[in-house]
Each structure stands twice: as C-alpha cells, then as structure tokens.
Structure 1
Amino acid sequence: MNSNLHSPERHLIELRMEHADLDALIDRTADEQPVDELMMRRLKKRRLALRDKISRLELALDPKEPA
C-alpha cells in the first residue's frame, strides 16, 4: 500500500488535481475587478508548467510505439 502512495500514477492524479485547482483560481481571479495582471501571469505560468509536467509523466507512463 505504501508504494501505491508514491506511484507515478498517483503523482499524475495529484498533478491533474492541482491543474484543475489552478484553472478554477484563474477563473475566479479573472472575475475580480481590478484584475491583478501580475498575479494572473504568475498563475498562468504555473499552470503551464504543471501541464508540461503532466504531459511528460503521461508520456513516460504510456510511451507511444513507432508506427
């Protein structure tokens, strides 16, 4: 069971959850007036970095075979 807590699949799920949380936070922040542009840029940059990590982990877990 302990190995399941640190599995790559578990890490992928956690990254996806964090990405979804950032999406929600960005949406809520965009509705505020005035919009804090610096914070929005930082949140979007963090979300993009998470998306890149998710993509790399997905590729490592399920590598595509050459056609």
Structure 2
Amino acid sequence: MHPYDPGQLAHRLVELKSEHRDLDAAIAALAASPEVDELRLKRMKKRKLAVKDQIAWIENQLIPDLDA
C-alpha cells in the first residue's frame, strides 16, 4: 500500500515535468543572453536539479514494490 495517493503523485509528476521543461528553456535563454546574470542562472540550475530529484522520487513511489 502506498503511503501517498498515486493519483495525487501522478498529478504532481506532470506539474514537475512541466516546471523542469520551463526551467530548461529559461536557463538556455538566460545563458544565451549577452548580459548573463550568473547568480540567477546558478539559482535556476539548482532549482532544476531539485525538481529533477523530486521527479525521480515520485516515479520511484509510483513503481510497484517488486519485493512484495
């Protein structure tokens, strides 16, 4: 039995994947800008990694437990 609602996790997963794509596009645009704000770029990359970790965690929760 999941300690979390799979429906809610699946919904959150869609939101996080969308945010990850948006961050990827924003990072690429910012990096291509002639006046790169390095601190902002670093923060966006850090957020993108955090989102990626959350995506991996949720995907792991949605996979059926094979040991059961």
**Into which bin does the TM-score normalised by the smaller protein fall?**
0.7 to 0.9
Deviation at 1:61, TM superposition (A): 0.6
2:62 aligned residue: 61
1:52 aligned residue: 53
Deviation at 1:35, TM superposition (A): 1.1
Deviation at 1:9, TM superposition (A): 0.6
1:1-67 aligned at under 5 Å gives the runs 7-63=8-64, 65=66
TM-score, with length taken from structure 1: 0.82
TM-score, with length taken from structure 2: 0.81
Aligned length: 61
* Structure 1 vs Structure 2 CA RMSD: 1.5
Share of identical aligned residues, percent?
43
